[in-house]
């Protein structure tokens, strides 16, 4: 009995802490498909403060693969660009089974954005259904104006 316990302890020492025993089905991190984003707020070629939208507009964020719905609210933030106040959002996801690209729709919880300038940011808290975080980068922050 003591030998069996010692063997189990020795084998467990070979594992790195925090590493899964099983092979992940997907190790590819998700990304935003910038060409399909409406309006084009994010991306390497998105212009600062140059995107104008109407107050009742919906922002469509296309991801390369299905996202963990629990990560969307903490991972997507829209703020007043000057005051820094976070804007409450309504986040809509596609029905299951989730298609690819995975289109997430964002709108103001008040049903309209007030006139002003806003920043949209995606945090590395966003993960896909396999648990891979979105890759951080400067193209994950953009600005837009509401007229």
Instruction: Look at the chain and report how many structural domains it folds into.
Output: 1
Residue 41 to residue 75: CA distance in whole angstroms: 16
In a domain, 16, yes or no: no
pLDDT band at 48 (very low <50, low <70, confident <90, very high): low
Query: pLDDT for 104-125, tens place per residue?
Result: 999 999 989 999 999 999 999 9
pLDDT higher for 119 or 15? Answer: 119
CA end-to-end distance (rounded Å), the chain: 75
What is the CATH classification number for the domain harbouring 118? Answer: 2.60.40.1220
* Residue 103, domain extent: 25-146
pLDDT band at 27 (very low <50, low <70, confident <90, very high): confident
In a domain, 67, yes or no: yes
In a domain, 9, yes or no: no
In a domain, 140, yes or no: yes
Dihedral over alpha carbons 111, 72, 84, 56 (to 10 degrees): -20
In a domain, 70, yes or no: yes
In a domain, 112, yes or no: yes
In a domain, 20, yes or no: no
* E strand or H helix that includes residue 145: strand 141-146
Residue 109 to residue 91: CA distance in whole angstroms: 9
Residue holding tokens 């945090």? Answer: 123
pTM of the entire predicted model: 0.79
pLDDT band at 45 (very low <50, low <70, confident <90, very high): confident
């Amino acid at each position: 009995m003591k030998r069996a316990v010692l063997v189990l302890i020795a084998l467990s020492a070979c594992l790195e802490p925090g590493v899964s025993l099983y092979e992940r089905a997907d190790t590819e991190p998700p990304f935003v498909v910038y060409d399909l984003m409406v309006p084009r707020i994010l991306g390497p070629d998105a212009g600062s403060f140059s995107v104008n939208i109407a107050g009742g507009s919906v922002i469509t964020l296309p991801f390369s693969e299905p996202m963990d719905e629990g990560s969307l609210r903490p991972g997507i933030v829209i703020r007043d660009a000057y005051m820094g106040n976070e804007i409450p959002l309504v986040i809509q996801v596609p029905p299951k089974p989730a298609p690819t690209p995975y289109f997430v729709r964002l709108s103001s919880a008040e049903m309209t954005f007030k006139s002003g300038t806003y920043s949209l940011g995606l945090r590395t808290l966003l993960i896909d259904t396999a648990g891979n975080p979105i890759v951080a980068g400067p193209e994950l922050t953009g600005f837009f104006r509401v007229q």
